[in-house]
Chains A and B, each alone.
Chain A
Amino acid sequence: MNQRTTILEVATAWVLAFLWIAPLAYALWSSLHPAAFATSFSLSAPWTLENFARAWHQAPFGRYYLNTIMLVSLILAGQLVLSTLAAYAFVHFKFRGSGIAFALTLLQLMIMPDVLIVENYRLISKLGLLDTIPAIALPYMASAFAIFLLRQTFKSVPRELIEAARVEGAGALQILWRVYVPLARPTYVAFALVSVSYHWNNFLWPLIVTNSVESRPLTVGLAVFGAPETGVDWSVINAATVMTMAPLLIAFLIFQRQFVQSFMRAGIR
Chain B
Amino acid sequence: MTGWAGPRTGSHAWMNAVNAWLLLLPAAVLLVAFTHYPVLATIRSSLFVARRNGTQVFAGLDNYRAMFDDAIFWKALGNNIWFAFGTVPTSIALALLMALWVNRNIRGRGFLRLAYFTPTVLPMIAVANIWLFFYTPDYGLLDQLRALAGSPGWNWLGDPRTVMVCLIVMVIWKEAGFFMIFYLAALQQIPPDLNEAAAVEGAGRLYILRRVTVPLLMPATLFIAINAVINSFKLVDHLVIMTKGGPNNASTLLLYYIYEVAFTFQDSAYAATLTVVLVVILSALALIKFGYFDRRIHYQ
Contacts and interface: CB of A to CB of B under 8 A. Distances in A.
B121 A249 contact: yes
Contact of A226 (B34, B129, B233, B300): B129
Contact of B24 (A101, A121, A122): A101
Interface string A238-269: 10010011001100110010011001110111
Interface residues of A, number: 96
B24 to A, nearest CB: 5
Contacts of A234: 133
B45 interface: yes
B19 A93 contact: yes
Contacts of B133: 38, 234, 237-238
Given A93-B20, A118-B268, A204-B237, A237 B118 contact: no
Interface string B74-103: 000000000000000000001001100100
Contacts, number: 274
Contacts of A184: none
Contacts of B184: 264
B100 to A, nearest CB: 9
A253 B38 CA distance: 39
B195 interface: yes
Interface in B207-254: 208, 227, 231, 233-234, 236-237, 240-241
A167 interface: no
A113 interface: yes
Chain B contact-residue range equals: 35 or more
Contact of A26 (B23, B141, B234): B141
B50 interface: no
A89 B20 contact: yes
A85 interface: yes
A222 B129 contact: yes
Contact of B30 (A14, A104, A138, A263): A138
A170 interface: no
B122 A24 contact: yes
Nearest to A124: B34
B118 A252 contact: yes
A24 B118 contact: yes
Given A101-B28, A120-B38, A20 B16 contact: no
B24 A86 contact: yes
Interface string B118-130: 1111111111011
B30 A141 contact: yes
Given A93-B17, A93-B20, 20 more contacts: A10-B106, A13-B106, A16-B97, A17-B111, A20-B119, A86-B27, A89-B24, A94-B8, A96-B17, A101-B28, A109-B286, A113-B34, A115-B275, A119-B37, A119-B45, A142-B30, A159-B4, A201-B125, A204-B259, A263-B120
26 contacts: A14-B112, A17-B108, A20-B116, A21-B118, A23-B130, A83-B27, A86-B23, A86-B27, A88-B23, A92-B5, A107-B36, A108-B35, A110-B283, A111-B283, A113-B35, A116-B39, A117-B258, A123-B34, A123-B38, A141-B30, A142-B29, A203-B125, A219-B125, A249-B121, A263-B120, A264-B181
